[in-house]
């Protein structure tokens, strides 16, 4: 009799644990999808920004080609890790593109350019938020599968720790601006 109760308790615990882990895993997938939505929004803005700047800066073709190449690679990234690896380069290239406006005062005054720059800034804020939300969700999931006694069951059921969304520039983002 006692043995049957213990087995029943273990079965109930396993079902509850499995359902909790599935919920966490789905939240991680949803949070990652939200990051992807914001990154896609940025990638969709890039061609419009490039075309606006290109009209004013005929001899900066190398920057335009590099940005187009990075955008294509980022859109075709198969894994979050591949996408993360490209993010630092995309941000750097966009910074170079936006810096061109300093050399071209008529571009800086162009309303289309200013609107695109504002949209890009807004999108960058949304990307930061989505990345933070994703990392918070991954942290909760990783903690859940790493706690005893769940850590005994999680690997058997196929739950593995997920990586955080980090950028190589993260160390530079932590520095105090001068």
Q: Which residue is associated with the tokens 């591949």?
A: 82
Q: What is the mean pLDDT of residues 128-138?
A: 95
Q: Where are the domains of the chain?
A: 45-160
Report which of 166, 165, 159 is spatially closest to residue 142, judged by C-alpha positions: 159
Instruction: Identify the burial level of 19 via C-beta atoms within 10 angstroms of its C-beta, where 0-12 means exposed, 13-18 middle and 19 or more buried.
Output: exposed
Report which of 124, 163, 170, 156 is spatially closest to residue 18, judged by C-alpha positions: 156
Q: Which region among 1-5, 99-103, 116-120, 143-147 has the lowest average model confidence (pLDDT)?
A: 99-103
Report which of 75, 74, 53, 76 is spatially closest to residue 64, judged by C-alpha positions: 53
Q: Helices (H) and strands (E) in the chain — how many of each?
A: 7, 0
Q: What is the mean pLDDT of residues 47-64?
A: 79
For residue 98, what are the contacts with CB-CB under 8 A and spacing of at least 6? 117, 120
Q: pTM to 2 decimals?
A: 0.78
Model confidence at 177: pLDDT above 80: no
Model confidence at 158: pLDDT above 50: yes
Reported as a pLDDT band with limits 50, 70 and 90, residue 34 is: very high
Measured distance CA(73)–CA(82) in Å, rounded: 9
Q: Which region among 23-27, 47-51, 161-165 has the lowest average model confidence (pLDDT)?
A: 47-51
Omega before 41 within 30 of 0, i.e. cis: no
Report which of 41, 101, 92 is spatially closest to residue 70, judged by C-alpha positions: 92
Structure tokens at 5: 């109760």
Model confidence at 170: pLDDT above 60: no
Reported as a pLDDT band with limits 50, 70 and 90, residue 11 is: very high
Measured distance CA(74)–CA(60) in Å, rounded: 22
């Amino acid at each position: 009799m006692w043995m049957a109760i213990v087995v029943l308790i273990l079965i109930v615990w396993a079902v509850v644990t499995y359902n909790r882990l599935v919920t966490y895993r789905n939240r991680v997938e949803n949070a990652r999808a939200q990051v992807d939505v914001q990154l896609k929004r940025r990638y969709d803005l890039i061609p419009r920004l490039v075309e606006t700047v290109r009209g004013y800066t005929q001899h900066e073709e190398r920057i335009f080609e590099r940005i187009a190449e990075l955008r294509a690679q980022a859109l075709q990234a198969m894994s979050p890790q591949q996408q993360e690896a490209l993010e630092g380069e995309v941000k750097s290239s966009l910074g170079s593109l936006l810096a061109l406006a300093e050399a071209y005062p008529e571009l800086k005054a162009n309303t289309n350019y200013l609107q695109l720059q504002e949209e890009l800034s807004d999108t960058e804020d949304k990307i930061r938020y989505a990345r933070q939300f994703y990392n918070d969700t991954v942290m909760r999931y990783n903690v859940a599968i790493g706690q005893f006694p769940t850590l005994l069951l999680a690997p058997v059921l196929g739950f593995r720790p997920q990586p955080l969304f980090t950028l190589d520039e993260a160390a530079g983002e932590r520095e105090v601006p001068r």
